[in-house]
Amino acid sequence: MKNPVWVVKEVQPKEDYTLLLTFADGAKKVYDARPLLQKTIYSQLKSLAFFLCAKAECGTVVWNDDIDIAPEHLYECSKPAEVQ
């Protein structure tokens, strides 16, 4: 069975609180996580060291057992990455 396009394959957290994401369809996108910092559930992400520990796991981005982001949200709310 083919993975949905929004499955996160790779994540590279950046010091500006963005995530460089690679999705199952090969798309590379940038997600701005700064608005999440205002939400209580994501308060731990205010620590840059903690934010930079993001990893791709189970098709999405996770930090620990309590904090993750819906992969569909990441796909829909991220912007195409600039080709370098």
Cβ proximity of 74 and 10 under 8 Å = no
Report the first-to-last Cα separation within the chain, whole angstroms: 33
What pTM did the predictor assign?
Answer: 0.93
Tell me the per-residue pLDDT of 46-70, one tens digit each, with 9 for 90 and over: 999 999 999 999 999 999 989 999 9
Give the pLDDT mean for 27-32.
Answer: 97
